[in-house]
Structure 1
Amino acid sequence: MDQLLAIRVFARVVESGSFTKAADSLNMPKTTVSKLIGQLESHLGVRLLQRTTRRLTVTADGTSYYQLTHPLMNQLEDIDQGFSQAQGLPRGKIRVDIGGSTATMLVIPQLPKFFARYPDIKLDLGVSDRPVDLISERVDCVIRGGPLTEQTLAVRRLGEVSWTTCATPQYLARHGTPTHPEQLADHQVITYHSASTGRILPAHFQRGSERHQIEGKGPVSVNESNAHLAAGLAGLGIIHTFSYTVRPYVERGELVPILTDWRPAAYPFHVLYPPNRHLSNRVRVFIDWLVERFAQVD
């Protein structure tokens, strides 16, 4: 038995939750995956996976074995890459999950500078506003905004961004320009709802000690940040979103800021990664670059 290969296959089965998915991702026959798992279980003398026709379950021994071997396999991969990398530069693939507008407006436009610095790193970007399971989806790190709710992940703060409330000149010409958050009750507000819960995320406004929380009403609600911007640009209503998202359109006059003296607290962004995973050098330099990038954003 090739024990290292068997351990890698076992980890992929655990992370994907399926022999078929593991085989596809490893580009090997399903029978080979099953054979390697069986050999590994025989070698260890324990059952790692409980298999039925409908369900695959990781046993207690399997969970323990995965938790013990996974960091070691990551370290071994980094050691191999460390000896093969050219000119001391990190190399390899990083799987990153990132929200839509953060990807299109902040990260992707600046990636040429990152690749100029680290030409041997490849990025696999999962772009959506839905939450992901880092372990099962084999994601190295995620970029998330808002208060931290995940208590099981390692975290590094990236920075914070400001908010802008705005609409098209055509919309404001038809409906008037609100001067107080409470007047938004009489306007079309494009709401944003959570991709995981469906809950409307209210807009917060603050001026001095006065605070307002507005859910708004409008003809459309979306759960993805680029679609939220597109709805605002289409003149469907008022949007309340990150300033970096709308700045180019404000500068061109396609969107007009309103309620500029009402600003909520800045919105924090963090990068999160599994705490039991050895942080490879390639992931570390990518996170350092993200911190630099967010330092340029207001």
Structure 2
Amino acid sequence: MDYFLAVQAFNRIVETGSFVKAAAQLNLHPNVVTKLVQTLESHLRVKLLNRTTRRVTLTSEGGVYHERMSRVMDQWLEVESEIAVSHAAPRGKVRVDMGTTIATHLVIPALPDFHARYPHVKIDIGASDRTADLATEGIDCVIRGGTLQDSALIARRLGSLEFVTCAAPAYLSAHEELTHPAQIEQGHTLVRYFFTSSGKPSTIAFSRDGERVTVEGDYVVAVNDSNAFLAAGIAGLGLIHTLRFMAQPHIDAGLLVPVLEDWSADANTISVVYMPNRHLSVRVRAFVDWLVELFKNHPQVLP
């Protein structure tokens, strides 16, 4: 029995909840993964998994085994990686998921630098505003904004991004001048952003001199994509509250005008996130380190 591969297959089944998905991530046939787990169970003389046509669950012994062996495998792979990194250039494929704004405005324009450093590494980017599932989708890492909801994941801070509230000149000329965020609820229109996963709209929280005001506002159009959100603001469909680095070129061109600049909104913390029991390979570690450097040196990213 290939004990290393058998334990790796078992861990991936637990993470993904599927023999088929685990096999795909390990580039093995599902029958091979099934045989590996059966052989592992025979070797240990215990049943690790309960399997039905619809789901896979851990037995009590399987839960203990997974908890212990996840740490062992992670340490094993970390030692191998540390030894290998000084002898071999990173190569292979990195799967990363990020929002369309981060992808199109920050990461993709800088990728020629990464490719020059690591010519044998391919980057597969999932660019959307949805929240990807690292375990079930076989994604190596994701770039996420805001507070990390899943405490089981590891987050490495990249920096923070400033927000700006703005609108097209035509919209502002047709509406009362804004001096206080509360006015947004009285005669003004927002372009509303709603989250794909929940359908819930985003809100805006403004602060000044100890006063904090949260507004939702009325709207005539709502979108779930950051690029569409910006386009709606430029078209004069309402006020938008968006990342400054995204809006700044359009502000400089006179297509958008900032408002309520004496009020502040919480910056959006950006992190690169990965699973604790999925060891960072040499190529993924190289990409994560490069992201940290990229964001640290970018003029639009705050510490």
Please give the TM-score of this superposition, normalised by the length of structure 2: 0.83
CA 1:231–1:63: 2 relative to 1, 3 Å: farther
The C-alpha deviation readout for 1:229-265, integer Å capped at 9, x for no partner, is: 2332333221101101112222222222222222223
Deviation, structure 1 residue 189: 0.3
- Tell me, yes or no, if structure 1 residue 132 matches structure 2 residue 132: yes
- Tell me, yes or no, if structure 1 residue 200 matches structure 2 residue 219: no
**Counterpart code for 2:34:** S
CA 1:7–1:58: 2 relative to 1, 3 Å: same
CA 1:227–1:82: 2 relative to 1, 3 Å: farther
Paired position in structure 2 for 1:16: 16
Paired position in structure 2 for 1:223: 224
Task: Please show how residues 177-188 of structure 1 align to structure 2 within 5 Å.
Answer: 177-185=177-185, 186-188=187-189
Deviation, structure 1 residue 112: 1.3
Please tell me whether the aligned partners of residues 78 and 280 of structure 1 are also in contact (alpha carbons under 8 angstroms). no
**Counterpart code for 1:7:** V
Paired position in structure 1 for 2:91: 91
Equivalents in 2 of 1:218, 1:60: separation in Å? 52
The aligned length equals 297
CA 1:71–1:96: 2 relative to 1, 3 Å: farther
- Secondary structure of the 1:66 match is helix
Equivalents in 2 of 1:204, 1:196: separation in Å? 22
Name structure 2 gaps, 5 residues minimum: none
CA 1:257–1:110: 2 relative to 1, 3 Å: same
Deviation, structure 1 residue 162: 1.0
The C-alpha deviation readout for 1:21-75, integer Å capped at 9, x for no partner, is: 3344555443333233222221221212211122221223333333444455554
Deviation, structure 1 residue 77: 8.3
Please give the TM-score of this superposition, normalised by the length of structure 1: 0.84
Paired position in structure 2 for 1:37: 37
**Counterpart code for 1:58:** L
**Percent identity among equivalent residues?**
49
Bigger shift: residues 54-63 or 42-51: 54-63
**Counterpart code for 2:11:** A
CA 1:127–1:46: 2 relative to 1, 3 Å: farther
Equivalents in 2 of 1:149, 1:20: separation in Å? 28
Equivalents in 2 of 1:78, 1:224: separation in Å? 41
Paired position in structure 2 for 1:286: 287
Paired position in structure 1 for 2:262: 261
- Secondary structure of the 2:122 match is strand
Name structure 1 gaps, 5 residues minimum: none
Bigger shift: residues 237-246 or 184-193: 184-193
Please tell me whether the aligned partners of residues 81 and 282 of structure 2 are also in contact (alpha carbons under 8 angstroms). no
- Secondary structure of the 2:293 match is helix
Task: Indicate the RMSD between aligned Cα atoms, in angstroms.
Answer: 2.9
Equivalents in 2 of 1:290, 1:199: separation in Å? 30
Bigger shift: residues 72-81 or 269-278: 72-81
**Counterpart code for 1:172:** L
Equivalents in 1 of 2:283, 2:293: separation in Å? 16
- Secondary structure of the 1:46 match is coil
